[in-house]
Structure formats: structure tokens, C-alpha cells
Amino acid sequence: MHSSDRDRLVLAGVVFAVLFSQLLLYPGIGTLVSVLGADTTSSGLTATTLDASMWFLVAEFAAYVAFVGVWGAISDMSGRRTPFIVASALAGAVGYATLAAVPALGSIPFSAVLLLRVFQGAMTIGAFSLTMTMLMDLEGGHGRNMGAAGIAIGLGAALGAPIGGQLTELDPVAPLLVAAGLLVFVGALVSRLADRTPETSRTARALLEGVRRRPTLSIPYAFGFIDRMTAGFFALVGTLYFQDVFNLDAGTTGLLLACFFAPFALLQYPMGSLSDRIGRTIPIVAGSACYGLGILGVGIAPSVRTAAVAMVVVGILGALVSPATMALVTDLASERERGLAMAGFNLAGSLGFLGGFLVGGTVASTYSYDLAFLVVGGLEIAIAIVTVPIFVRLSLGSDPAMDGSTGRETGNR
């Protein structure tokens, strides 16, 4: 096996482990926040289980937003990736383990639990974003590399949700302990990889100026924001929707979420390779429009069976969009600014997750689940329609031929 192929496999495994750890918590989120003290705290943050769950998820993604750029900038400035991935993974493991110890301590207010969640998120995002940046550094085609990242993300989510549901049935804090152990494993694994970061280091001002000169990066960032918003929406509102409307337990909810994440995961690599051949425009624009329609379909599904079918369709369409969007970031970014460029994409994605939690949770709580599905699905359709002229005018993704070793474009993009 070629060294870049081996590293692609290992790095994809790291991305899988980080996302798997994150998704372990979602199916049993209502039970988990209760065990962590939400039921014993008199606060607007914990007025309902939905409110407490929303703020527990928001705390992590707020930390993602605040720190993802810091990790990317430090990596680009130093010309190193692996030591920062190792450090962030181990610190993230400490965060998960400390949260798992909260019920035993018994006297920690829920606001302090949220602060621990912020620390855990600030550390975990470093491992996630910089591992994806290391995939950007590899040869072999941007679509393939981001397809490997995408299949890892999808598999992590697909397996994390159902396994997390089963772990919650055993013990509500079990997902936290498993997450901590996985991040320790990630740190040990990455420490053995070669660092392929471009050897030149740069100042923070030079990095920011380089990214500023590439305004077209805002296009994949915008799609990343909306796509992750839908993921955040399903993680919180979708989970509670399935449990309230169809009266499902945590384990069955995890299996229903897996109906989305399984095809989303398994089709990432072939869809990424497809975008290398046909360009990014069709997968991103047409895929996003159909993806939004699929979300609306989930919201009107009358039974668990039809909801599961709709989730499978949405997963297939998501697999079409995701790797092409990430590959477009790699296409447009300079090799010396990849850490910050991918950090920007993950920043947009983290803001999207926050939007999914806050917008979806607020609309569902204040109005109805039906309106929440309409808002989120409608936004996905709207961005596809609005950006069609931009893709046509700038010919974004029209020629996928790329120099895989440097990231320089060889076609007209």
C-alpha cells in the first residue's frame, strides 16, 4: 500500500473516532442532561428537557466556533499538525471523562457542567479539524481525500447514534466514558503518522491576508453552514421529534437516525470521486436542492416506516453534497493556508450546527415540529437557488482536474 493511501486510511479512522464519540451522546441526550444535574437546577436553561439538551449541545459547538480558527492558525503558523492533534485529542478525553464523573460528585450546578462541555468542545475540534487538514495535505485527488473524510464522518455518525442509544440503555454516562477512551486512542494513533504539512511557516497576518484574497471560499463555507444546520437539526429536534411523535425509545431512535447516516457514510467516497470527474457544481447545487426537499419529506412522513425511507433518501442526497463541498475548499485554498481554510469551513459548519440547535429547537418549542422542518428544509433549497448564478459566473467546480500534490488548479475554476 502506498504511504499516502495508508495515511488516508488512518486519518479517516481518526475522523471516524472523533465523530463517533460525539454522536454517542445524541440518542440519549435527554436522559444524560438529567443525570448531569439539569433536573435539580432552577434556571431558564433547564426549563424543559428540550431546553437543557439544546444548551448542552450549544455549549460544545460554541466552543467549536471560538477555537477552530485558533487550532488552524497555530498549525499553519508552526508548519506542524500532528502534535496539536495529539494534544487536543488527549485534552478532549479529559473533558469527556470529567463530565462522566459529575454524577458521582453530585454537587456541581448545571452551569458548571456547561463550562466543562465548552472545554471538551474547544479541545475536540482541534483533533477533528486538523485531521481533516492532514487529509487535504495528501496526494491523490481532493475529491478522494474529502470523500475519505466524508465516509468517516458518516460512518461515525451512523454507528455512533445506534450504539450510543444502546449504551444509554446500560448507563447514561457510558457514552461519555467510551468517548474519552476513543480520544486517548486517537492521540496514540496520530502520534505515529508522518507530518506532511508544507514546511514553510507563516505569520498570522499573512495567513489572514491569504484567505481574504480568496473570497470564493465563502461559497463552500455557505453550503457547509446550511448542510451542518440540517445535521444539528436532526441531532436535536429530529431526535425528540421521533421520540414524541412516534413514541420511540433511545435505542430505536438511534436506529432511525442510522437510516440517514448509513447511506450518507457509505456513499461519501464514490460521490467524492464522482465530483473529481464531473466537477463540483452539479453535486453541490442540484444535490442541495433535492436534499432540502428530502428534509421536508421526513417532516410529513406519517409513520416510522415512511420516515425511515425518507431518512435513507436524505442520506443519499447528503452524500452527494458533502464531499464535493469539502473538496471545493481544497480546490480553492492555497496549500500554505489549508489549516485556516479548513478551519473556516469547520467554523461555518459549527455555526450551522448551532443554528440547527437554536433555530430548530426554538421554532419547534415555540411553534411546532412541522414549521421547524419547513424552515430548515426551505433554507437548504434557498441556498441552492441563490448560488446557481454564482457557480455559472465563476465556473466553480467546472473542471475538477487538479494537481494533487500541491492543490494548485490546472483547469479553469
Whole-angstrom distance between the N-terminal and C-terminal Cα of the chain? Answer: 32
Pick the range with the lowest mean pLDDT from 111-125, 146-160, 289-303, 306-320: 146-160
Tell which wins on pLDDT, 100 or 272: 100
Q: What pLDDT sits at residue 342? A: 78
Residue, of 150 and 134, whose pLDDT is higher: 134
Domain limits, the chain: 3-394
Q: What is the structure's pLDDT at 402?
A: 43
Report the pLDDT value the prediction gives residue 115, as an integer from 0 to 100: 94
Task: Choose between 103 and 261: higher pLDDT.
Answer: 103
Domain 3-394: assigned CATH number: 1.20.1250.20
pLDDT grade for 94, boundaries at 50, 70 and 90: very high
DSSP per-residue string spanning 194-217: -----S----HHHHHHHHHT-GGG
Mean pLDDT of 259-274: 83
Listed residue (239, 235, 267) closest to 227, CA to CA: 235
Q: What is the pLDDT of residue 404?
A: 39
What pLDDT sits at residue 159? Answer: 82
- For the residues 240-256, what does the mean pLDDT come to? 85
Per-residue pLDDT of 7-26, as tens digits, reads 788 888 888 999 899 889 98
Residue 61 clears pLDDT 50, i.e. is over it:
yes
pLDDT one-digit tens code per residue, 319-336: 898 888 888 887 877 777
Task: Give the model's confidence band at 413: pLDDT under 50 very low, under 70 low, under 90 confident, else very high.
Answer: very low
Q: Nearest CA to 281 among 396, 411, 109?
A: 396
pLDDT attached to residue 407: 40
Q: Specify the pTM.
A: 0.71
Outline where DSSP puts E strands in 215-281.
Answer: none
Which amino acid type is present at position 220? P
- Residue 267: pLDDT over 80: yes
Task: Note whether 285 and 220 are within 8 A (CB).
Answer: no
Q: What is residue 402's three-state secondary structure?
A: strand
Give residue-wise pLDDT tens across range 163-219: 998 899 899 999 999 999 999 998 988 888 877 666 555 555 554 565 566 677 888
What's the mean pLDDT when you consider all of the chain?
82
Beta carbons of 253 and 243 less than 8 angstroms apart: yes
Residue 44: pLDDT band with limits 50, 70, 90: low
CA-CA distance, 341 to 211, in Å (whole number)? 7
